[in-house]
Amino acid sequence: MLAERLSTAEEILEKLDGRGLAEFKYDGERMQIHKKGDEIIIFSRRQENITAQYPDVVKYARDCIKAKEVIAECEAVAIDPETGDMLPFQELMHRRRKYDIEKAIEEYPVSLFFFDALYVDGQDLTSKPLLERRKVLENVVEVNERVMLTESKLVEKPEELEEFFLRTVESGCEGAIVKSISPESLYKAGARGWLWIKYKRSYISKMVDTVDLVVVGAFYGRGKRRGKFGALLMAAYNSEKDVFESVCKVGSGFTDEDLAKLPEMLSPYISKDKSPRVDSSMQPDVWLKPAIVLEIIGDEITLSPVHTCCWGLVREGSGLAIRFPRFTGRFRLDKSPEDATTSSEIMSMYEGQLKKVVEKPTEGA
């Protein structure tokens, strides 16, 4: 089953008669999983048999789907094994290989987010309304760290959907998909219609320039980074208020050598409490006094319900954030915190992205 696309929360809810089930639209590979006893077959969106490329998914399905015969759909998303953050779709494509599959599983583990059940133990669910199918799904999928249901919320007001949408982007997703919950909300295989509506970011524009951001907090890692700092909370400098406003959490791009440097480099600046010069609603494991500057690049600048950079200037209740930030490898020891990229520069970059869209609109997928 496929979805149509609209560009505003108001249009979407109007099309769905005022209410719908909003779900995270994960940036991964859609899978239809067929289970019959211990036999698991995985089909792609194009109905290719991709079972051989995902032996880990086979195990997850065998262990976590608690029914003998099931056809269910999920999104497989690549996960950074050291930070737990979701990675973009391009990273998942490293799994599409015939050789070194075990190595690919280790380097690009996946999490599954189930969103629909089509068939369970002799019962065809495609003729059942969405919420009924969802209830069956909840009963047959046993959730754990790697297997989950899509995050969802019933929405009736445009502002509720808008808030949910911003949360999806903040989490590393493409946006939201909003589904009809009417009695007619059946599963229509192969059909593209208004029962499912995509609400994606209105532009995709790669950041061209790097930014210099200040470390204001640190998070402990997992996997090989367990017991070490695995990600850093970064901030831009608001020169008018003389404060550092959070703009991203970065855990990608660090080499083992970089990670080994961090404890010694950051330890003089560890603080029990948040600095009065730091404006952040995100709570790191460790607060740091603004001192160290790193060079960061990302995919784009988006609205954020979490980060405080330019808070309320574009939209009430939102700041700006860098999506999929990565450390470039440059520790800017030549710069003081006050020399970092300013909040107004982040705003200018965001406005530049919007201008590009107006000049050359991007076709929606």
Task: Give the pair of three-digit tokens for residue 138.
Answer: 């909840």
Q: For 68, phi and psi rounded to 5 degrees?
A: -75, -45
CA distance 43 to 187: 17
Pair 83, 222: CB distance under 8 Å: yes
Q: Which residues contact 352 (CB under 8 A, 6 or more apart)?
A: none
Task: Verify whether residue 25 is a known catalytic residue.
Answer: yes
**Active-site residue, selected from the candidate residues 25, 179, 200, 289:** 25
How far, rounded to the nearest angstrom, does the alpha carbon of residue 30 sit from its chain's CA centroid? 15
CA distance 218 to 287: 7
Distances in whole angstroms, Cα of residue 300 to Cα of each of 199, 202, 205? 17, 12, 6
Distances in whole angstroms, Cα of residue 22 to Cα of each of 116, 134, 195? 13, 13, 12
Q: Is 198 helix (H, G, I), strand (E, B) or coil?
A: strand
How many CB atoms lie under 10 A from the CB of residue 264? 8
Angle at 301 between CA 299 and CA 303, to 5 degrees: 135
Q: Is 100 helix (H, G, I), strand (E, B) or coil?
A: coil
| Identity of the residue numbered 33 | I
Q: Which residues are catalytic?
A: 25
